Amino acid sequence: MNPTAEGTPFPTDNDFFKVLFDSLPMPVLLLDQDGTIHAVNSTTRHLFSLDSEGPYSDLSKVFHCIGNSKICGSQPACRNCELLNAVRSASNGQGVVRRRARLNRRGLDLLVSASPLTYRGASYVLFMLEDISELVELRRRVRDQDNMPEIIGRDEQIVSLREQIQFVAPVNAPVLIEGESGVGKELVASSLHRSGPRSSKPFVVVNCAALNDNLLESELFGHERGAFTGAVKRRKGMFEMAHGGTVFLDEIGDVSPAMQVKLLRVLQEGTFMRVGGEQTISVDVRVISATNKHLQDEVAAGNFREDLYYRLCVIPIYIPPLRERRNDIPQFVERFLDQLCEQDGRERVTLSPEALAALQQHHWPGNVRQLHNILHHALVQCRGRVIQSEHLNFSQSPAESRVSRRKRKKKLDRAAVDRALRQCEGNKRKAAQHLGVARATLYRFLSEGQ
């Protein structure tokens, strides 16, 4: 026995070091230069569900190719295996300290350390592992939250929205995002893409309301040379360009019945043909769509195919309007003013309490987009460092004007509806145009028997 500084004897017998080795809180293995495992501690046996203390002929008994030691190290994937590379480095006298490794077979993220060891003329490798799977998962969650910097707000509905995005992002199912204009549907779609397994692939946005049927079909599916006037060369469509990634169909509720049929085929079969083409093209894309309409009402009114609706709305996401989360307005104001001041090269500008109160009391028919525009206009009007109430011009908003016009419209009455239907020979679409209302409004009026 060798005494310590205090005079207490320190045990040096083999049994003590076996107990010490077995008590280490991380997996530790002792290997020779051929990869044969001579000893493992209890933590290793517990982590890898090993029934006995050995013998373990080589790494394959613990790691990838359990039961087939002749394969381990001979496969192409083994060349990039950090576990084997760490052992090889230490066998050559070069220690490895906390190198990241992924043990896919067990779903573990590890830090690997390997130290060369010589005992009685024989060379060994002391192989140590740290399980950091929980830490990696926590970092992944933080990264996913960082993928949603634009989705700001502390309101309970927004917190729930962010959680829903994290839950839905890894799933490949179609998502339908519903919400009023200006609430940030494209930001949610982009966050779903960036937080999911397709994040390294393209994210392609198509505004379905901005194009007529012919242009939209060409935009989505591409066209062959000579398919129509001006088609001087073959062009890939958005579905083809997004292969492996995500297609975001904005304002899907405005798509015509003819285009709805063609979209249904892509969703059902994953195939399409270019305009003017004869070759069937297969794609692997995730489809996220968005609308400011209530699609179930559109289905009930006969404006939207029911089978397409259920294909698109496998996972529904609803974004609440700004007026339902007014407590988030200060956070939006701070973010937007910082962005606008940096964009215009101005010193930081703040909002007076009166101006902030006016913003929080507003109805916000144009939602977050309207708030951004009003702040930008106020910043132009403001000559100092504080935006006052007089700098806010709510009448500048087209959304506000649309709401005012809607309020000025007369409500539908039975006599006017009957007259319009007679004049249009029962054609509800033409009758709705004659009355100056949306088709869904007329269908709802008729279904309620008013």
pLDDT tens-place values along the chain, 450 residues long = 444 444 455 455 677 777 888 888 888 888 777 767 777 888 887 777 666 656 565 555 556 544 444 555 555 555 556 677 777 777 777 887 887 777 665 667 788 888 888 888 888 888 888 888 888 777 665 554 544 556 888 888 998 998 899 899 999 899 999 999 999 999 999 999 988 899 889 999 999 988 888 889 999 999 998 888 777 888 899 999 999 999 999 999 999 999 999 999 999 999 999 999 889 999 999 999 999 999 999 999 999 999 999 999 999 999 999 999 999 999 999 989 988 988 888 888 999 999 999 999 999 999 999 999 999 999 999 988 899 999 998 875 554 445 444 444 446 777 778 777 777 777 776 777 677 777 667 777 776 665
Give every CB contact of residue 64 below 8 A, 6+ residues apart in sequence: 72, 78, 81, 103, 104, 105
**Tokens read off for 298:** 């559109």
Q: What is the pLDDT of residue 12?
A: 52
Cα(268)–Cα(144) distance, integer angstroms: 30
Bridge partners for 283 per DSSP: none
Question: What would the DSSP string read from start to end of 248-266?
Answer: EEETGGG--HHHHHHHHHH
Cβ distance 83 to 108 under 8 Å? Answer: no
CATH, range 322-405: 1.10.8.60
Q: Is 264 exposed, middle or buried (0-12, 13-18, 19+ CB in 10 A)?
A: middle
Cβ distance 198 to 286 under 8 Å? Answer: yes
Which residue, 165, 151, 184, is CA-closest to 250?
Answer: 184
Cβ distance 268 to 308 under 8 Å? Answer: no
Whether the ω angle into residue 55 lies within 30 degrees of 0, i.e. cis, is yes
Which residue, 148, 157, 185, is CA-closest to 325?
Answer: 157
Q: What is the pLDDT of residue 431?
A: 76
pLDDT exceeding 70 applies to what percent of the chain? 79
Integer-rounded Cα radius of gyration of the chain: 33
Cβ distance 349 to 163 under 8 Å? Answer: no
Domain boundaries, the chain: 2-131, 142-318, 322-405, 409-447
Q: What is the pLDDT of residue 1?
A: 40
Q: Which residues of 5-41 are buried (b: 16+ CB within 10 A; e: fewer)?
A: eeeeeeeeeeeeeeeeebeeeebbbbbeeebbbebbb
CATH, range 142-318: 3.40.50.300
Range 2-131 has CATH code 3.40.50.880? no
Element (H, E) at 85: helix 82-91
Cβ distance 374 to 382 under 8 Å? Answer: no
Q: Is the pTM of this model over 0.85?
A: no
Token pair 């996913």: residue? 144
Q: What is the pLDDT of residue 407?
A: 42
Cα(90)–Cα(107) distance, integer angstroms: 25
- Helix count (H) and strand count (E) of the chain? 18, 18
